[in-house]
Structure formats: C-alpha cells, structure tokens
Amino acid sequence: MASIFKKKQFWGGLIAAAILVFLFYDLDLTRTLNVARELDLLYLIPALLSGAGIIVFKTFRWKTIVSKVRKVLFWPTLCLYATSQLIAVVLPALTGQAGRVLLFSRKGKFSKTYAFSTIFLEVVLDGAGLIILMMIASSVFVFPEDYRFISYIIGVATLFLLILFYFSLRFQKNLENFIHRRIRPRSRKVYLVIRKFIRSFNDGISVLRSTDKLFSISINTILAWACNIGAIYFLFFMFNFDLPVWAAVVVIIVNYLALMVPITPGNLGSFQLAVVASLKMFSVPKTEAVLFSVMLYLVDMIPMLVMAAFFLFKEHFSISEISEDEELIEEVEKMVVETDIEIKEEVDRK
C-alpha cells in the first residue's frame, strides 16, 4: 500500500479527480443535456480527421528527422509514433517523454541517445511554432500578462537551443578534440561515453544541415498546427460558437502552455481546465465550455488510441511494460550508453 502513495500516477489521478469535480459539480444537468442535444454532430467527422492529421504530419516530420540515419516505412512509423504520443500523455510529468525514448529505442531500434535527440528537436520545433502562432494571435488578441511572460521564456529558451544545436553541429570536431585532450587522459571510459553522446545526439539533429529536409520538417510542422486549429474550429461550428479562427489559436496556445509538463494521467482534468479557461476569455458560458473541453479531448485522443491500438496489437506490446517509474529513471539515466560491455570492448580496442 505504501508503494502506491509513492507513484506519480496515484497523485496525478487524485489531482485529475479534484479538477474534474471542480469543473462539473455546479453544472445544471438539464441545461447540460439541452446543450448536448443541440450539437451538430456532423462537424465531429472533420474534427476527428483533423485530429488524425496532427499525428500524420508529426509522423512525416519525425520520419524526415530519422531519414538521415535510416529509411522507415510510413504506416508502421505512424502507429509507433501514435503509441509514443499516447505514452507521453498517459504517464504524468516528464516520465512520458522518458517513455517515448524507451519505446523508440526498443521498438524503433534506435539508440536511446538518438531517440532522445529527435524528441528534443521536436519539442524545440513545436516551441518555435507556438511562438509564431502567439505572435500572429497577438495582432488581434491581447493575452493576459502571465501568458505573455511564459511565452517570452519559451521564446528565449527556443532561440538558445537552436543556437546550441548550430554550434554543436558546426564545432563537433572541435568539441571532440577538446574532450580528447582534457578528459581522455583522466578517464578513458568517461571520454568514450561523452563522445558517444555527442555523436549520437548530433546524428539526431543533423537533419538541420539539409535545406530540403529542413523545408520538409517546417511544412509538416505548419500542417500539424493547421490541423490542430482546424479540429478546434470545426468544434466551434459543432457548438454553434460565433468565434473567429484566431480564437482557436488562442485555445491552442493556452492549452499548450498549461500542459507543457503533464501532471495528470492522460492530461485528464488539466486539459479540460485549460480549455475552459481559454474559452472564458471569449465569454463562453461554463456549461458549453466544459462540454467543448470534453469533446476536444475526445477528438485529440480517439485518433491516437486507434492508431496506437494497431501497434500494440501487432507487436503484442503493453504500455505497462515501460510504465514503472523506477525502470524509466534507471534506463533513461543510462541512455547515453547502450551497455557497459560496449564501452569496455571499445576501451579494450584502444
């Protein structure tokens, strides 16, 4: 019993339950049912297709990123990527991203460091896209000061990481020569670990050197954001909200900022709270806003679950295989090195 209280899933579940109670406890059941009956469910079809499009274009983007190392087939990669997204959502805090690293390593047959670098690059690309969206939305909507402050932090962090990527690729040989001179004489094993990390990490971001691939990555990032906007905008029609397209952009931005670090399993509760808070800026009544948040959650999750189900069934794989925190922490801490044997063998060859 004591071990249950130490698990992030347990505390995340309690937080999710508390948020959901806060959102639903004062809703009028009769009015809620009336709003639900008036929904134009035909718009759910394009909304779900847009939700699926988000995963499709992000898969194309990741497929382009890894193409420098290996050519991968689209359909298996789509199901693998959808499963990785599901893991990122289901496991709370940053455990989900660690789970994605392990999934790409085990089932995608990539080294852990390489998988980590591709995910890291994706986060930076999405951060850059978010800043651009926020700049566009700011021309017609004044964000609260708190949101603007967070966006400045994300902007500075994104710019810093892009500069770091550039210098890491541009001066890789210089960096390797430096650690060869400074670290190898003191510890050959540490030197080999650091060198392997640098090379594997740079392999993951080396796609930035290719203009053609960078263009493809940018296009797929834009299309993924466009599908995200489209899914929300179709739901506006479904709920008969008289809101402009840029209102959908505001919902995305607020949701992204609120869920940067997931604290509840499946983002349940925190997702709905973020959506309700964003719609409140446009004077949407709470009943409609809560129902909208539930519908948007389903639009986000259903395509992901369907695609992930194909992978889980075909591979006879269960998310529970990588859901234990202790295992994740241990393996991700070792992601620089595949096994101690590899290091020892390389040391022996030296």
Contact partners, residue 311, CB within 8 Å, separation at least 6: 76, 79, 80, 82, 83, 107, 317
- Number of domains making up the chain: 1
* % pLDDT > 90, the chain: 25
H helical segments located in the chain:
8-24, 29-37, 44-66, 74-90, 95-106, 112-138, 145-170, 172-182, 188-205, 211-238, 245-258, 270-280, 286-314, 325-333, 340-349
- pLDDT for 44 equals 94
Structure tokens at 276: 């309700």
DSSP state at residue 68: T
Q: How far is CA 4 from CA 9, 97, 263, in A?
A: 9, 22, 17
Decide: 68 and 202 in contact? Cβ < 8 Å: no
Residue the block writes with tokens 């194909």: 310
Distance CA 67, CA 181 (A): 33
For residue 317, name the pLDDT band (cuts at 50, 70, 90).
confident
Q: Which residue range forms the structural domain that includes residue 118?
A: 4-349
pLDDT tens, position by position, 81-133: 888 888 877 776 566 777 788 788 777 788 778 888 888 888 888 888 888 88
pLDDT tens, position by position, 256-302: 877 776 677 778 888 888 899 899 888 899 999 999 999 999 999 99
Distance CA 223, CA 54 (A): 8
- pLDDT for 344 equals 38
Mean pLDDT, range 343-350, rounded to an integer: 40
Alpha-carbon dihedral angle through residues 45, 46, 48, 54, given to the nearest 10 degrees: 170
Q: Smallest Cα–Cα separation from 121: which of 193, 40, 212, 213?
A: 213
Q: Which of 137-151, 216-230, 314-328 has the highest mean pLDDT?
A: 216-230
What pTM was estimated for this model as a whole? 0.80
- pLDDT for 341 equals 35
| 145 vs 250: which has the higher pLDDT | 250
Structure tokens at 143: 């964000």
Residue 346 has pLDDT above 60, yes or no: no
Q: What is the largest CA-CA distance in the chain?
A: 76
Distance CA 305, CA 308 (A): 5
Residue 323 has pLDDT above 60, yes or no: no
- pLDDT for 345 equals 39
Distance CA 180, CA 255 (A): 45
HEC secondary structure over 223-279:
HHHHHHHHHHHHHHHHCCCCCCHHHHHHHHHHHHHHCCCCCCHHHCCHHHHHHHHHH
Residues in the chain: 350
